[in-house]
Structure formats: structure tokens, C-alpha cells
Amino acid sequence: MTAEAPRPAFTRASRPDALKKLKQASKQNPLDVLVIGGGINGAGILRDLAQRASDAKKPLRLALVEKRHFASGTSSRNSQLLHGGLRYLKNFEFKLVKEALRERAALKRIAPHLVDPLPFLIPFHGVTDRLMYGTGLMMYDLLAGADNIGRRAFLTREQASALEPGLNTAALTSAGVYYDCKVESARLVLENIFDAVRLGAAAMNYLEALEWRLDGGDFRVKMRERFSGEEFAVHARRIVDARGPWDGGGNLRLVRGSHLIYPKLSASDHAIAHFHTDGRIFFVIPWGPNNTRSLVGTTDADHAGPADEVKISAEEVRYIREVAAAVFPHSSGIEPIAAYSSLRPLVKSEQASATKTSREHRIFEEPPGVVRITGGKYTTYRLMSAEAADMAWPELAGACRTAAVALGGNTPEAIASVNDQVDVTAARTGIYRSDVAMIAKLFGVQAPGVLGRAPAEGASDERALTAVLDWTLEHEMIERMPDFLFVSTHLGHEERWDERLLAHLASDMGSRLGWDANRRKEEVALALQIVSMPRA
């Protein structure tokens, strides 16, 4: 692999360095902008502001704080799709769909290692379906225009059955095919943060902003480090509140979306988009190593509890399993491997249905000096980030270039070079091609550095896992076991983890991070809590 990579953004010393830099943000020397929240919106805003400052050669003191790990909430536990939102056409939200389709193309351009075109099969059950959804697919292509990534097609009943023999054909009359994109959503967050840090911003995880108040024209923000419990104050001229479901202001409707992961249910590598009888669109998405899993969901359930307590319910498990069986009848006899849930922070509306609540975003300043970002879709994060950055630092308004600059140096040409070397690297290292390809996909131009950490001997999968573990512990500010299992990788949702397997991983991580026996047990318990799943 020959593509040149930028320097890693983090080392193991980065976290104490960032903490030191934040503590120096005093009343006499405040931050220019403090972003609170390390999901996709916060990460995108930090990168946008850092890029603008660098382009204008007007240094800004920028920082981001996140009370858990970056991307540990909604931004990693979603449907892993970049999409225009085909179902929003039913609500006549044409502007939202066109905007999202444009952004889908932009993200495919700036993060080609993390974004892949994905064909979707829609089963039609009668002439009405064919007419209604066929019209929707035509509009989808028209709204995408030059940004289209694949043209719609229509299949006969026989063609659809040949493509997906396990599909429920009881009422199937024909089918449609359209295209959206699959994304490594957590790693896209990390790439945004990495770029911002390379440009001089500070980013700190497990640091909670407890409260803030005006103090002589600037904001005094009370912070707490989550491990030591240490509290201190940071001063900032302006704040961006990108906490999403954790904003606590009462302006949001918190909707829980849950997914199940199965052994692969489909025969092809097409995703299935099923419009269920309750009006929801339901996906069965090829997922996991070599597409050997199916990601199935999602739900739309109003969430009344704390934002930190999000878990799939037995009712949601039952619902997803029932709909999965309506699409693939054989799935009724297959036990899911894993599950996950997250919260969508939607702007409150008069809609009674969570499904029909708009995914439009709202960015506003309240009180003066505090920019708040709410609602929206993952797909349009870059556009929302630009709007928020305009408001957060008006002196550089309109200077956004994030659609033109590849994340982490991962240009299409660089990724083509990395992919061209997969076979050569596999032959040279003795690591299975599938493992080398997986590392190239997750890490892009950093893949040679990751693979350079693989031990010389051992089974291929163990050598690949050791390389990824070593690299991410050194360069991705990992502090807890779930950071590795659910953010740096998807491993936590790709296998059935038990206490024995987690204890083995805790031993590996603990030997590198200095965990004692009690801390290792604590990490295992935390991971078990996350991977546990209620029975339907």
C-alpha cells in the first residue's frame, strides 16, 4: 500500500495534552469557540471552523469536549446509511430530499473509503405499489440529478425471486431497485475530529460540560473529567451546543431507533427496503465482515427516559422480528446476534406520529453567543455544520470548503491506490485478503500503518485484530472497552459476546492501558450491559 497518509491526529499523550490546553483557557486567554458534543454535528462543526481558520490564516482557539467517547451515541448506532430519504417524498419534503441527495454525493467524494453505493430492492405488492413507489423512484432520480449514483430499475416477480430466493413471494408482483449509500458512521465522526485536530483544534473525550454562564462578556464553563472527578473552569468567547439528545432544553422530541443484527438473511448484496403496513420503511442491510450479517430495522419509539439510558425494548425486538419474518419468512427461526438503540433528536412538532415527525434541522442562537443545533439527518451533517459555523464565527461566514477537501487525505485517487495494493499486501504479510480489505476500508490511507503493527506470526484474524487494537489504542483516544468495540470497530455488534470473550479482550486492552483487575472487571460488566438483549 503506497498512498501517502497524513500524520495521526492523536497519540496516547494527546488526552493529557488536550486537558492541559483546556485548563489554560482562562478569562485572560479564552477559547474562541468551544463545541460541546462529540457526535457527527459537533465533529463536523469543529472541522469546518478549523478549516476556515487555516484557509484564512486567522488562527482560532477551538476545542471540542464530549462527556463519553466521540461518536458513542446516535452517530454510531444508526442505520449506517447516507440517503436522501425516499420515504420523505410521501410527506412532500422535496427540499430535504434534494439537499440530502446532494450531500450524499459530497460525502462519497470526500470519504470514499467509508462510503459505498448500495442497491436497494423494494418489493411491490400489486399495481398500486408499482405505480406509487415507481413514481417515487423516478422523482428520487430526478432530484439527485447529476449527483445520482445509480439509476432505478424494475424487476418482474420472477427476477426479484431469482435475486432473493428467500423473499416472501406470497403477494409479490414485481419489484424496484434504487441506490443509496452505506457508511461507516462512527469512523466518519472520527475522521472529522482527526482533521480538526491536525489543523490545531483540541478535542477531549470523557470531559463533561456541566454548566455555563456569562462572565464579563465571555462564558465560564464548568467541566468535570469523568475518570478522576476533577472539576475546573474553561472560558470561551462563544459556545456551540451540539449535544443532541443530551441538550436538556425541552426543544426536542427524542425518538428511539433500534436495530437487530442477524446472520445474513439475504442471498444477494442488495439491501431490502420494505414499506410496512404501519407506514414505516424497514431495511435489511448487508453488514459486517464480507457482508456476512444483516442489519435489520429500524423502529420509531418515543423515548421518555434519560438520554443516557437507551436500550432496545422487548416490544421493539418483537416488532423487528415480526417485520423481518414478513420480508424473509425463514428469519423467524433464526436468533439475532446482537441489537443496538440510539436516540434521534427531532425538532418538536404537532405530529402525533414519531415516524411522520420531520427530519428538518434548526440552528439558532440562544442566548447570544450560544449556537444550538437540533434535528436534522446524519446525511446532511456537513451542510448543518456549515450553517452553524457561519453563526458561531461570523467573521469567516461563507468560507466553508469541507465539501472540497477529502477527509484525512482520503481522496478517490488515494483510496484507489490503497485498494490496488490489497492483494500485494495480503501476499506479502500472509494476512487474509478479506482482513486486509477490511482494514483498508476502515482506515483508508492509514491502513499501511495499521497493518505494520500486525505480529509476524499467528492466525490471520488474530494478527489483523492485534494490528487494529494496537493502532486504535495509540491513535484514537480510546479509554474504555466499548470505545473499541462500538466506535473504532463494529466488533461488538458482529458477534455474540460472552463474559469469557470479553475478559480476554479486557486482558489485552488492560495490559496496554494499565488497567488493574478491578478495572478489567468493570469494563467487562459495561460491555455485557451494552450487548445484552431482552427476549421478545
Where b means 16+ CB within 10 Å and e means fewer, 417-430 reads ebbebbeebbeebe
Cα 498–Cα 501–Cα 507 angle in degrees, nearest 5: 130
Which of 305-319, 376-390, 440-454, 460-474 is the least confident region?
305-319
Cell of 486: 462500538
Cβ proximity of 191 and 10 under 8 Å: no
- What pLDDT score was predicted for residue 374? 87
> pLDDT class for 398, splitting at 50, 70, 90?
very high
* Spatial distance between the Cα atoms of 104 and 513, rounded to a whole number of angstroms: 38
Residue 350: its pLDDT value, please?
56
What is the predicted pLDDT for the residue at 259? 96
Residues of the chain with CATH 3.30.9.10: 93-183+252-346
CATH superfamily of 14-74+186-250+359-396: FAD/NAD(P)-binding domain (3.50.50.60)
Number of Cβ atoms within 10 Å of the Cβ of 334: 16
**Core vs surface per residue 143-167: b (16+ CB within 10 A) or e:** bbeebbbbebebbeeeebeebbeeb
For the domain spanning 421-531, the CATH number is 1.10.8.870
Q: What is the pLDDT of residue 228?
A: 96
Q: Which residue is associated with the grid cell 482562562?
A: 26
pLDDT at position 351 is 55
Mean pLDDT of 88-111: 93
Q: Sign of dihedral through CA atoms 229, 231, 234, 238? A: positive
- Across residues 502-513, what is the average pLDDT? 97
Q: Inform me whether the pLDDT recorded for 402 exceeds 90.
A: yes
Whether pLDDT at 4 is above 80: no
**Residue 192 — pLDDT band, cuts 50, 70, 90?**
very high
Q: How many residues does the chain have?
A: 536
Q: How far is it, in rounded angstroms, from Cα 353 to Cα 357?
A: 6
> For 9-55, how does the pLDDT look when each residue is reduced to its tens digit (9 = 90+)?
999 999 999 999 999 999 999 999 999 999 999 999 999 999 999 99
The DSSP-derived string for 27-84 is SSS-EEEEEE--SHHHHHHHHHHHHHHHHHT----EEEEESS-TT-STTTSS--EE--
- Work out whether the CA dihedral 160, 163, 165, 166 comes out positive or negative: negative
Q: Residue 534 phi/psi, 5° resolution?
A: -70, 155
Q: List Cβ neighbours of 509 (8 Å cut-off, separation of 6 or more).
A: 469, 473, 478, 481, 484, 515, 523
Which among 285, 290, 292, 291 has a CA at the least distance from the CA of 328? 285
Instruction: Give the dihedral of Cα atoms 185, 189, 190, 191; nearest 10 deg.
Output: 100
Cell of 512: 496496554
Which amino acid would we find at residue 350?
A: E
The reported pLDDT for the residue numbered 2 is 52
Max Cα distance, the chain (Å): 73
Does the pLDDT value for residue 207 go beyond 80?
Answer: yes
Q: Look at residue 492 in the predicted model and tell me its pLDDT.
A: 95
Q: State the span(s) of the chain assigned CATH 1.10.8.870.
A: 421-531
Question: Using the 8-state DSSP alphabet, how is residue 418 labeled?
Answer: H
Instruction: pLDDT band for 305, please (50, 70, 90 cuts).
Output: confident
Query: What string of DSSP letters covers 228-260?
Result: T--EEEEEEEEEEE--GGG--SS-EEEEEEEEE
Over range 291-308, report the average pLDDT.
90
3-class state of residue 178 by DSSP: strand
Confidence of residue 205 (pLDDT cuts 50, 70, 90): very high
For every residue of 75-115, DSSP letters joined together read TTSS--EE---GGGGGGT-HHHHHHHHHHHHHHHHH-TTTE
DSSP 278: T
* The C-alpha cell that represents 179 in the structure block: 441506490
- Residue 308 exposed, middle or buried by CB count within 10 Å (0-12, 13-18, 19+): exposed
Q: Start-end ranges of CATH 3.50.50.60 in the chain?
A: 14-74+186-250+359-396
Cα-trace Rg, the chain: 23
Residue linked to cell 440510539: 342
Q: What is the CATH number of domain 93-183+252-346?
A: 3.30.9.10
Rounded Cα gap, residues 281 and 340, in angstroms = 18
Burial per residue of 369-388, b for 16 or more beta-carbon CB atoms within 10 angstroms, e otherwise: bbbbbbbbbbbbbbbbbbbb
